[in-house]
Amino acid sequence: MNILIVEDDLGIAQELITGLNDNNFNCVHATNGEAGLEFALKNEFQLIITDLMLPGMNGLEMISELRKNKVDAPVLILTAKRSLDDRVTGLQNGGDDYLVKPYAFVELLARIKNLIRRSTKEPEAKFETLIFFEDLTINLISREVTREQKKIELQAKEYQLLEFFIKNIRIPLSKNQILEKIWGYSFDPQTNVVDVLVYRLRGKVDKNFSKPYIHTLKGIGYVFKVE
């Protein structure tokens, strides 16, 4: 398993590398966002760990570029920035998990294994390669999405949410269910990370089409259906 570490603090980076090597992970280290982006575009990693406060291109900018370039390896943000706004911003902009420094290595290791396990999971056997719903088509292998035969470009988390909806048609889904499915655990109920992700998905899947599929259930969450 290969892990990319993007961290400008050499002491922290060495601690990470030593601990991860001891747990049978191979590590590549970049000291800034530009180098991290270059490594990630040219090599395959099962996980990327990045700080946010990096010289030059910061962590959020790097993650954004990764997602634009279809790099879908899970990203764990490891940073001293601890506010709720910082965490929500990181997760809304392509991060898959967020851990604040100082951290316990045993927790970091558990989060790493969880992210890798989720990202390498095979599609459930009961679902076909292609899923059709009205004029919407999803290819579970290529992750290509079309509606009315028009290709829809989705970021990684937007696609994950759409797939979750399409596998639960007409079933009400709470915000907490979505949080647990997309991010792997629950957050403060006051966060709007789910609402923002749903808003972005609606803008691509429903906007400019004759009928919406994503519907808000007041006080509950959302449901994917035709009315």
CA dist 163 and 52 (Å) reads 29
pLDDT of residue 61: 95
Q: CB of 141 within 8 A of CB of 197? A: no
Q: Tell which residue, 217, 123, 189, 204, has the closest CA to residue 158.
A: 204
Local structure of 125: helix, strand or coil = coil
Assess whether pLDDT exceeds 50 at residue 90: yes
Rounded average pLDDT over 66-74: 91
Q: How far is CA 83 from the centre of its chain?
A: 20
Local structure of 60: helix, strand or coil = helix
| Chain segment 29-60, per-residue pLDDT in tens | 999 999 999 999 988 899 999 999 999 899 99
pLDDT of residue 125: 42
pLDDT of residue 126: 43
- If pLDDT is split at 50, 70 and 90, which confidence band does 99 have? very high
Preceding omega of 102 cis (within 30 degrees of 0): yes
Per the DSSP assignment, residues forming a β-bridge with 136 are 133, 147
Rounded average pLDDT over 121-145: 74
Domains along the chain with CATH numbers: 2-119 (3.40.50.2300), 130-224 (1.10.10.10)
Assess whether pLDDT exceeds 90 at residue 190: no
Rounded average pLDDT over 177-186: 82
Assess whether pLDDT exceeds 50 at residue 200: yes
Q: How far is CA 158 from the centre of its chain?
A: 9
pLDDT of residue 187: 58
Q: CB of 223 within 8 A of CB of 172? A: yes
Rounded average pLDDT over 148-170: 91
pLDDT of residue 124: 47
Local structure of 145: helix, strand or coil = strand
Q: Tell which residue, 201, 205, 206, 207, has the closest CA to residue 182.
A: 201
pLDDT of residue 121: 60
pLDDT of residue 18: 93
Rounded average pLDDT over 185-199: 78
CA dist 198 and 162 (Å) reads 9
- Ranges 66-70, 79-83, 181-185: which has the least confidence: 181-185
- Ranges 46-55, 81-90, 176-185: which has the least confidence: 176-185
Please give the C-alpha separations between residue 212 and each of 20, 26, 179, 226, in angstroms, as whole numbers.
46, 46, 22, 7
Share of the chain above pLDDT 90, in %: 56
Strand order in the sheet with 214-217: 173-174, 221-224, 214-217
Higher pLDDT, 207 or 128: 207
pLDDT of residue 31: 93
CA dist 60 and 51 (Å) reads 9
